[in-house]
Amino acid sequence: MAAASVIARRGKADACAAAITAHYGVTLPTGPRRAASGDVVFAGVGPWRWIATAEGADAAEFVAQLRERLVFVAAVTDQSDARLVVRLRGPRVRDVLAKGVPVDLHPRAFKAGDVATTLVAHIGVQIDMLDDGPTYLIAAPRSMAGSFWSWLTASAAEFGYDVSRS
Amino acid sequence: MSGTHRLQSGGLIDRGKPLSFSFDCESHAGFAGDTLASALVANGVKLVGRSFKYHRPRGIFTAGSEEPNALVELRGGVRREPNTRATVTELYDGLIAASQNRWPSLRHDIGAVNDRLSRFLVAGFYYKTFMWPAKFWELLYEPLIRRAAGLGRAAGAEDPDIYEKAFAHCDVLVIGAGPAGLMATLAAGRTGARVILADEDFRLGGRLLAERCEIGGRPAVDWVAEIEAELAAMPDVRIMRRTAVTGVYDHGQYSAIERVNDHVATPPEHEPRQRSWKIVAKRAVLAAGAHERAIAFGNNDRPGVMLAGAARTYVNRFAAAPGRRLAVFTNNDDGPRTAADAREAGIEVAAVIDSRTGARVTRVRGRHGVRLIDVADADGRTSTIECDALAVSGGWNPAVHLTCHLGGKPVWNDEIAAFVPGALPPGMTVAGAAAGALTLARCLGGGMTAGVTAAAACGFAIAAITQPRADDEGAAVTAMWHVKDSRGKAFVDLQNDVTTKDVALATQEGFGSVEHLKRYTTLGMATDQGKTANVLGLAILAQASARAIPQVGTTTYRPPYVPVSFGAMAGHHRGRDFRPTRLPPSHAWATEQGAVFVEAGAWLRAQYYPRAGEADWLKTVNREVAATRAHVGVCDVSTLGKIEIEGANAGVFLDRVYANTFSTLPVGKARYGLMLREDGFVMDDGTASRLAPERFFMTTTTAQAVRVMQHLEFCHQVLWPALDVQMVSVSEQWAQFSIAGPRSRDVLAKLVDADLGDAAFPHLGCREVTACGVAARLFRLSFSGELAYELAVPARHGDATIRAIMAAGAEFGITPYGTEALGVMRIEKGHVAGNEINGQLTARDLGLGRMMSTKKDFVGRVMAQRPALLDPERPALVGFKPVDGARRLRAGAHFLKIGAGATAENDEGYMTSVAYSPMVKSWIGLGVLRRGPERIGERVRAYDPVRNGDVEVEVTSPIFVDPEGARLHG
């Protein structure tokens, strides 16, 4: 998965949003939400700050193109190698996540398309809710992948889990 | 048949599920639904432990988490858990428990001699006795006191069980599942609010399980079952049994401890024993009930003396008779009720001694269990009553604890002669007995109102609910604290063995403040936090000091409300998971090489790479240094903090955060940068490279990476929001390898597609290249002083890249080196690192004063000009070599003039870093010395009393190798 951080330049948030709408056909979210256009997703992770991802895309190409399209309106930085990304799905997934995620993930509080940047077991993560499956996407720093995995498997063990590669 | 004292019928135990257990190696039988305490009561076991200080025989005193006496060692082997309250321990088949604080046996305990010596062991005994002679302290007193201190034995081995932490969120948190809590939950739950009901018991109902009472014309337990079923069917109501809420914190946060699998011998595989919860609630209803309190009279601690409410619990809930012939001593309406319940259960009632008639119990007789009680009436007539159990009720204290965790003080209520909640934590309401409404109908009504109000406050429309019919039982009380004409010790705090005499003595000796009383006598300082004792203690203090109780006040209530195990506090974070470990991209490869790793912050870095035959780390490190300086070495430097800084004002921003100038840096060049704190001391150093006119790449030290990022964000967001600058960490994105040594260019030439000649790519150059077919960045930077490069590739290629570098370098004798060799080479070059950038030294101190630009403003500029920081007497950076080349240097040694005594006044500075230099062929050091740069060639003492070091050293330039810098160019 290709990934890049996108930070709007000062006073250029609207221009940045317009450029993204023009090129990707999505409305850039203004809060902690994700907006998808095919395989390209923009997730709001802070004020005037997004993580853009593209499933299956070549990292260097995706980032170079994004940078070109947002030149002078946003700082685009390659983060494709910075993250371990896992997709979690299943009826007990919220019970697993409750063992480390301090954010309220109840369906009333956190809906499909919502995004949170938070800490799990002292590890900074980005959590996206994809659908009401429920399915969640969690991105953790690459260097802490082992510790994150240790927490995840320990937390899921009580309910049982399967691992597959996407 | 299960137990000599088991009632034939009744109780909420499952007679179809018999369980066997052992206490002090003796086998007993009980039923599912029992606690360890109720099963012991049912088996007629009265003596269950010895008290902490006097080793007095003790029995079961309560039926809840407030228990002061019945503390046992539960389970055995690695799962042995001391100080477990038998009253909250659910019975399971095969349970093993043992009594504590006795030797050789519970019945014959040598330590009981303390009871005879009690005349001397009064409050303040330790403070007074072990003062002199002072030299006795370490050798005699401390070991003696240590042996006597503590209760129970820890397992002494690693806990094999799993513990967890978890988060929960709700609109309304209801604490306690008695009549008030159940009504509150029902009322809030019906509105559709998200409700969590937490109760420490394994069964919902609270006092309803322990009293013979009716709700809506039916037995209360039937009503509980009906409510429980309705709540269980509500999708957004969560019932948390075996869960004690232990603390209240800011912003509606509550801590709770769930004893998930304490009621089985071994938790099922992958399940935790306990789970520590953080619950975030918009509103909370505290329905924690009340604790009954004792009355102080002679030998009121004897086994068989128990609180009246507990006696009713054992009779009504557990069908266990506390005795065959029960006497009741009371100051309130609970006394007659206790007698009635006992009679109903077929227990003979010897007497009801009601202090409101002037009668009182003056003494209990029977050392290992109640045999007789001495009673006096209003006219002073005395009599002796035969009984084997005595139920005592001194009134009820609302469980105000959680209302006080954010600083609220409870207030005195004369009607119930107890403290009730005062100012409440934001979002909390109190209902039922916890609010001082001690009777059933008031509990139901109060709970309902609290539940409706709490849900409404969260925006939920009120749903239909009616208060079920119930009566308010009698609850009149006339305070009675202390039987003055008692004979024998009258205990206030059973767990810490504090008597009425101790309270009086403390008052007499001037410890009249309730907080002083607590510390002087240890009243309320045991694990039960004095739940049955504190109010009694301060009432006696009030009497002794002729004050009213509200004037005396209470001590501070602090979390946790009940004891919490360390395992639950640690949760998943133990052993390797204590904190996250960060692995650099070459970790797998380095592991294959047999590297020895070192923790550098959260990172696990290769420290050195030993080879066969190198028994000593120093041999390995010397080889790595020598090979790098002679040929070429490679080191993973991905752990450095890496930040991309972009924007029209990126250069200006760097000028302001660094002491030196960056706006003039050409594209394609890197520069060493020094960052100061606002107070003028050095914060960090690193490099910044200009990748494009408006894009820079900054590196920080490994240790300060997070702090620098925070600092930059602060500077941008708070100090200069007008600047157009965007920054983001790319520490995780790039794997970065330092390739150093005279042959480094030859190695890189095989890997990258660029002209690496000095002219095309000079020292401090940076450019984008393709390395092994991957888009990479190359920097010509040197920390070692050699011709050196840093090659950065996207992290996924890190593993392949280190292998490619090693393969390409094989013909040049490439050697991987770790953090030790890295350290040696930077010390040889006099480069400062974390040991020097220690928060106490300025740029001037480090010989970097010239880096502080005079042409611009920057963070730390003004404060660095403070006179004391400009004092020429300040120690400054120089190098050191031992005069005797064979001597080892130690970092941390202090410098003294030759011949000067080792005193603080003669201290001239200290050694910050040392290393054995294979180039110099002796130990070398960096350090700060008063007027150091002016004293090159002078000799001083490096004095290190901690490690018996006292070495004469010569002051040298801090640059030991290649002072001209010729090697940088290969």
Q: Do both B645 and B622 map to the same domain?
A: no
Nearest Cα residue in chain A from B723: A10
Disruptive mutation site among B195, B237, B269, B732 for chain A (greatest number of A CBs within 10 Å) = B732
Note whether A122 contacts B169, CB cutoff 8 Å: no
Residue B925 domain-assigned (yes or no): yes
Direct distance between the N- and C-terminal alpha carbons of chain B, in angstroms, rounded to an integer: 93
Residue B665 domain-assigned (yes or no): yes
**Is pLDDT of B870 > 50?**
yes
Strand partners, B778: B767, B791
Residue spans of alpha helices (H) in B233-357: 308-312, 334-344
* CATH code: domain of residue B597: 3.30.1360.120
| Per-residue pLDDT tens digits for B266-286 | 999 999 999 999 999 999 999
Q: Do both B779 and B815 map to the same domain?
A: yes
Residue B679, amino acid: D
Exposure of B746 in the CB half-sphere (CA atoms within 13 A): 14
Which residue of B272, B572, B730 is in closest CB contact with A77?
B730
Q: Do both B740 and B717 map to the same domain?
A: no
Q: What is the DSSP letter of A27?
A: P
Which residue of A77, A100, A148 is in closest CB contact with B728?
A77
Interface of A with B in 42-101 (CB under 8 A): 59-60, 74-75, 77-83, 98-101
Nearest Cα residue in chain B from A102: B167
Q: With contact defined as beta carbons under 8 Å apart, do A158 and B260 qualify?
A: no
Split into its structural domains, chain B has a count of: 6
Which residue of A5, A10, A145 is in closest CB contact with B728?
A5
Query: What is d(CA B789, CA B137) in angstroms, rounded to the nearest whole number?
Result: 61
Which residue of B167, B577, B726 is in closest CB contact with A147?
B577
Note whether A81 contacts B732, CB cutoff 8 Å: yes
Q: How far away is chain A from the Cα of B657, in angstroms, using its nearest Cα?
A: 19
Query: What is d(CA B942, CA B950) in angstroms, rounded to the nearest whole number?
Result: 6
Q: Do both B759 and B689 map to the same domain?
A: no
Q: Do both B621 and B758 map to the same domain?
A: yes
Residue B93 domain-assigned (yes or no): no
Q: How many CB atoms lie within 10 A of CB B596?
A: 14
The dihedral built from the CA positions of residue B556, B559, B564 and B566, taken in this order, carries a sign that is negative
The dihedral built from the CA positions of residue B231, B237, B238 and B243, taken in this order, carries a sign that is negative
Q: Do both B304 and B337 map to the same domain?
A: yes
| Per-residue pLDDT tens digits for B741-785 | 999 999 999 999 999 999 999 999 999 999 999 999 999 999 999
* Structural domain boundaries enclosing B943: 872-970
**Is pLDDT of B1 > 60?**
no
Q: With contact defined as beta carbons under 8 Å apart, do B231 and B239 qualify?
A: yes
Q: With contact defined as beta carbons under 8 Å apart, do B258 and B275 qualify?
A: yes
Q: With contact defined as beta carbons under 8 Å apart, do B273 and B338 qualify?
A: no
Q: Which of B729, B756, B777 is the last residue of a domain?
A: B729
| Per-residue pLDDT tens digits for B118-159 | 777 777 777 777 776 777 777 777 777 777 777 888 898 999
Domains of chain A are 2-78 (3.30.70.1400), 83-156 (3.30.1360.120)
CA dihedral B265, B271, B276, B278 (to 10 degrees): -150
Query: What is d(CA B495, CA B341) in angstroms, rounded to the nearest whole number?
Result: 28
Q: Which residue has the tokens 């019970």?
A: A95
Note whether A79 contacts B794, CB cutoff 8 Å: no
Q: Which residue has the tokens 């790595």?
A: B624
- Name chain B contacts of A154, Cβ cutoff 8 Å: 162, 572, 577
Interface of A with B in 125-154 (CB under 8 A): 141-148, 150-151, 154
Interface of B with A in 138-167 (CB under 8 A): 162, 164-167
Q: Do both B809 and B743 map to the same domain?
A: yes
- Name chain A contacts of B582, Cβ cutoff 8 Å: 141, 143-144, 147
Inter-CA distances, B464 with B187, B188, B217, Å: 8, 11, 21
Q: Do both B711 and B646 map to the same domain?
A: yes
Q: Which residue has the tokens 């190359």?
A: B778
Query: What is d(CA B790, CA B751) in angstroms, rounded to the nearest whole number?
Result: 13
Q: Do both B388 and B510 map to the same domain?
A: no
**Is pLDDT of A166 > 80?**
no
Note whether A158 contacts B167, CB cutoff 8 Å: no
Q: Which residues lie below 8 Å from residue B153, measured CB to CB, with a gap of 6+?
A: B73, B80, B82, B100
* CATH code: domain of residue B652: 3.30.70.1400
Q: Across all residues in chain B, what is the average pLDDT?
A: 95
Residue B167 domain-assigned (yes or no): yes
Note whether B580 contacts A155, CB cutoff 8 Å: no
Q: What is the DSSP letter of B700?
A: E
Structure tokens at B235: 């999708």
Note whether A80 contacts B581, CB cutoff 8 Å: no
Exposure of B509 in the CB half-sphere (CA atoms within 13 A): 16
Residue B246, amino acid: T
Q: How far is Cα of residue B88 from the mean position of the Cα atoms in its chain?
A: 24
**Is pLDDT of B84 > 90?**
yes
Residue whose C-alpha is closest to residue A100's, from A82, A127, A131: A127
Which residue of A7, A99, A157 is in closest CB contact with B270?
A157
Query: What is d(CA A136, CA B636) in angstroms, rounded to the nearest whole number?
Result: 34
Q: Do both B180 and B286 map to the same domain?
A: yes
Interface of B with A in 341-400 (CB under 8 A): none
Q: What is the CA radius of gyration of chain A?
A: 16
Which residue of A7, A10, A122 is in closest CB contact with B580?
A122
Note whether B583 contacts A11, CB cutoff 8 Å: no
**Is pLDDT of B184 > 50?**
yes
Q: How far is Cα of residue A134 from the mean position of the Cα atoms in its chain?
A: 16
Residue B571 three-state SS:
coil
Which residue of A9, A101, A102 is in closest CB contact with B647?
A9
Residue B462 domain-assigned (yes or no): no
A117 close contact with B: CB closer than 8 A: no
Tell me whether residue B613 is exposed, middle or buried, using C-beta atoms within 10 angstroms of its C-beta: 0 to 12, 13 to 18, 19 or more: exposed
Q: How far away is chain B from the Cα of A26, in angstroms, using its nearest Cα?
A: 23
Residue B523, amino acid: L
Q: What is the DSSP letter of B961?
A: S
Element (H, E) at B747: helix B744-749
Residue B763 three-state SS:
coil
Q: Which of B703, B729, B755 is the last residue of a domain?
A: B729
Note whether A148 contacts B580, CB cutoff 8 Å: yes
Residue B774 domain-assigned (yes or no): yes
Q: How far away is chain A from the Cα of B264, in angstroms, using its nearest Cα?
A: 16
DSSP assignment of B348-369:
EEEEEEEGGGT-EEEEEE-SSS
Note whether A9 contacts B278, CB cutoff 8 Å: no
Note whether A151 contacts B794, CB cutoff 8 Å: no
Q: With contact defined as beta carbons under 8 Å apart, do B585 and B640 qualify?
A: no
| B135 phi/psi in degrees, rounded to 5 | -70, -15
Nearest Cα residue in chain B from A51: B728
Nearest Cα residue in chain B from A119: B580
Lowest mean pLDDT among A88-92, B131-135, B670-674, B736-740: B131-135
Q: What is the DSSP letter of B788?
A: E
Residue B666 domain-assigned (yes or no): yes
Q: How far away is chain A from the Cα of B90, in angstroms, using its nearest Cα?
A: 23
Query: Confidence band (pLDDT; 50, 70, 90) for B2?
Result: low
Q: Do both B716 and B765 map to the same domain?
A: no
- Name chain B contacts of A144, Cβ cutoff 8 Å: 580-582, 602
Structure tokens at B832: 């400062």
Exposure of B26 in the CB half-sphere (CA atoms within 13 A): 13
Query: What is d(CA B807, CA B434) in angstroms, rounded to the nearest whole number?
Result: 74
Side-by-side strand order, sheet with B695-700: B670-676, B682-692, B695-700, B641-646, B726-729
| B819 phi/psi in degrees, rounded to 5 | -65, -30
Which residue of B162, B169, B726 is in closest CB contact with A75?
B726
Note whether A10 contacts B168, CB cutoff 8 Å: no
Query: What is d(CA B427, CA B450) in angstroms, rounded to the nearest whole number?
Result: 11
Q: With contact defined as beta carbons under 8 Å apart, do B436 and B288 qualify?
A: no
Element (H, E) at A85: strand A83-89
B471 close contact with A: CB closer than 8 A: no
Q: Which of B393, B422, B440 is the last residue of a domain?
A: B393
Helix, strand counts (H, E) of chain B: 23, 48
Q: ipTM value of the model?
A: 0.97
| B914 phi/psi in degrees, rounded to 5 | -135, 160
* CATH code: domain of residue B428: 3.50.50.60
| Per-residue pLDDT tens digits for B642-675 | 999 999 999 999 999 999 999 999 999 999 999 9
Element (H, E) at B680: none
Note whether A75 contacts B162, CB cutoff 8 Å: no
B732 close contact with A: CB closer than 8 A: yes
Query: What is d(CA B689, CA B699) in angstroms, rounded to the nearest whole number?
Result: 9
Query: What is d(CA A78, CA B734) in angstroms, rounded to the nearest whole number?
Result: 10
| Per-residue pLDDT tens digits for B440-450 | 999 999 999 99
Residue B801 three-state SS:
helix
- Name chain B contacts of A102, Cβ cutoff 8 Å: 167, 278
Structure tokens at B483: 């039987």
Tell me whether residue B964 is exposed, middle or buried, using C-beta atoms within 10 angstroms of its C-beta: 0 to 12, 13 to 18, 19 or more: exposed
Which residue of B579, B648, B732 is in closest CB contact with A83?
B732
Note whether A143 contacts B168, CB cutoff 8 Å: no
Note whether A158 contacts B583, CB cutoff 8 Å: no
Q: How far away is chain B from the Cα of A75, in angstroms, using its nearest Cα?
A: 6
* CATH code: domain of residue B517: 1.10.10.1100
Q: What is the largest CA-CA distance in chain B?
A: 114
CA angle (B605, B608, B612) in 5-degree steps: 140
Q: How many CB pairs under 8 A join A and B?
A: 118
Buried b (16+ CB within 10 A) or exposed e, B517-537: bbebbbbbbbebbbbbbbbbb
Residue whose C-alpha is closest to residue B742's, from B785, B699, B681, B801: B785
The dihedral built from the CA positions of residue B301, B304, B308 and B312, taken in this order, carries a sign that is positive
Residue B929 domain-assigned (yes or no): yes
**Is pLDDT of B182 > 70?**
yes
Length of chain B: 970
Q: Across all residues in chain A, what is the average pLDDT?
A: 97
Side-by-side strand order, sheet with B325-330: B305-307, B389-393, B325-330, B348-354
| A6 phi/psi in degrees, rounded to 5 | -125, 120
pLDDT of residue B122: 74
Q: Do both B794 and B744 map to the same domain?
A: yes
Element (H, E) at B245: strand B243-249
Disruptive mutation site among B171, B278, B712, B726 for chain A (greatest number of A CBs within 10 Å) = B726
Q: How far away is chain A from the Cα of B735, in angstroms, using its nearest Cα?
A: 9
